[in-house]
Chain A
Amino acid sequence: MIEVGSEAGLYARYRTELVRFATALVGPSDAADVVSDAMLSLLKSGELAEAERPAALMYRAVLAKANSMHRSVFRRRAREQRFAQRVTIEDPELHPEVVTAVVALSPQQRACVYLTYWEDLASKDVAERLGIGEGTVKRYLARARARLREVLND
């Protein structure tokens, strides 16, 4: 049995959302690896067991790993391109240009978009979860929305 509040228990509680979050950041092919790497880092550090806000810690760790993965932009773009094409094919009603625009956002922007539009968090809560300022979240969202508005109005 998994002890509630233990590292395993915390992971069991959040893992589905974490892998979805990672998918929004790096695409489906790398999402599981990113979550796995992030959790390994947290377990090694021992921080998770002592964290006051374990969910925020796990989300930040996933974002940090996603950032690392994005160092090679060329690989990233090729990966995102494949990702975007696959998503477009799987949902013909979706605006493909929106998907393309979303995957072109930076990881931080995408993280904010995901938490706002999928998890329905307010900017303040997004900021707390990612450990960044609320103003930054609003700025990221404003930029993302502006970029997407351009796409939708084209």
Chain B
Amino acid sequence: MTDQTTTALRRTMATIVDVAPDAPELPAVPAAVSPARRWTPTLIAAAAFMVALILGVGTVMLIGLGDGEGVAPGSSGTGVTEFDPLTAETDVVAVFDAAAIELDPLLLPATVEQVAGLQGVSDVAVVSADDLGALLDLPVVPGPGIVVSTSGEPDVAEEVAMQLTDGTMDALVQVLFFAAVGEARVERAIDVLTRNAVPLVDGLLLATPSGPEPQFDTGPLGQEMLLDVTDDEEFLTELTASIPSRALLGEGFQNELAGTPVYLGHVGEVHGIVAPFRSDKGVLMICDIRSIGARTTGMGCNDLRDGGWVEDGVLNGRISIGATYSGDSSEPAAITFTALPEDVSVVAIELENGGDRYWQRPVGGSALFVVPGRSNISFTVTTFDSTGGIVTTEKRSLSP
């Protein structure tokens, strides 16, 4: 039976095939290239030894770097049950069994490479599916994917790849992966924020434009919302003094300022500041601060752990936009975007209520839009590269 979905898919495939280019010529290969090594009993035995070694090392790394309360002293082998992922703040991303790199060539090399290539991730631990199952006490189901091999001995004749269930994967990602990725992303955002910032007054930097100049017509995006910078040193000193050095945010977290705040600019009487804070749990966050006049009136922090980082068991490299809204209906609202990708040239928002549209060049990887306060604000934010190509777009609905 051919249903509507099947028909639509067949038509789409046909259209894709229609636009396929001509096949390239077979590329020339330099002479005297040795054939790849094949799996032999000797190699398999050697690989099995390496797998066992790596599993042990990976486990030790997980335990050794989990430097939090409730983390038991390190041991090797299956001692991972002593590791409490819920209290771990580790630099380690736990993935896989080395055997899978050979056995599941479609998915794993790229995945491991991507993890290892993430800025701020210095170690990639290797851990088996069994160990992960014990670690998270969740079921592991057969199927090729992100987590692998049970026995440690690669068996090229049978599929030994395994895949975590969605629930297990989510738990793993939340506990082990996001911790590393969040820190890396915040560090990267702070680097972009401060890299070209210039001193404004004591204790306050000024963000400078970031991202490439737009090479496209920004007219259709609405009105440019320019950020002004005041040169009133007395005011800026007062503004700096109002920035909290400690703040209670989240569920009892005590956060401390972890770097010099950076001034984005102001729209009317609303001033925007972005600063790094670190929680008493050691979590690094990027925080946006709204001031009305020289008085801090709102603050929000993001540890950047959220976002759709895994698609079908494969890391996709996506970086979501951190947006924090503060304000109430009687005051202007500040919508601040931080941690924008470095290739973002223009940030544009379209308010749903009234349809006002504004755009802005980012400064220090951030953007600040000031709009009339309402009890609820819904908008679509879109970021563009220098050619006008959409980098990201998403809808947000926020309430004070």
A residues neighboring B (CB under 8 Å) = 7-8, 11-12, 15-16, 18-20, 22-24, 28, 31-33, 35-36, 39-40, 43-47, 50, 60, 63-64, 67-68, 70-74, 77-78, 81-82, 86-87, 90-91, 93-95, 98-99, 102, 106, 108-109, 113-114, 117-118, 130-133, 135-136, 139-140, 143-145, 148-149, 152
Contacts and interface: CB of A to CB of B under 8 A. Distances in A.
Interface in B25-46: 26-27, 29, 33-36
B35 A40 contact: no
A145 B9 CA distance: 9
Interface string B196-219: 000000000000000000000000
B33 A94 contact: no
Contacts of B8: 95, 98, 148, 152
B146 to A, nearest CB: 12
A21 B161 CA distance: 25
Given A46-B33, A136-B145, A152 B23 contact: no
Given A44-B33, A148-B9, A20 B20 contact: yes
B295 to A, nearest CB: 38
In terms of DSSP, what is the predominant structure of the interface of chain A? helix
Contact of A87 (B15, B113, B318): B15
B267 interface: no
Contacts of B35: 45-47, 50
A36 B27 contact: yes
Given A74-B341, A152-B4, A44 B17 contact: no
Interface of B: 4-6, 8-24, 26-27, 29, 33-36, 104-107, 109-110, 113-114, 142-145, 159, 161, 163, 311-312, 314, 316-319, 341, 343, 385, 387, 389-392
27 contacts: A12-B26, A15-B26, A18-B23, A22-B20, A23-B20, A24-B17, A31-B20, A32-B24, A33-B24, A36-B27, A47-B35, A47-B36, A64-B106, A64-B109, A68-B110, A71-B110, A71-B317, A86-B19, A93-B11, A98-B8, A102-B12, A102-B16, A108-B312, A109-B312, A131-B105, A132-B106, A152-B5
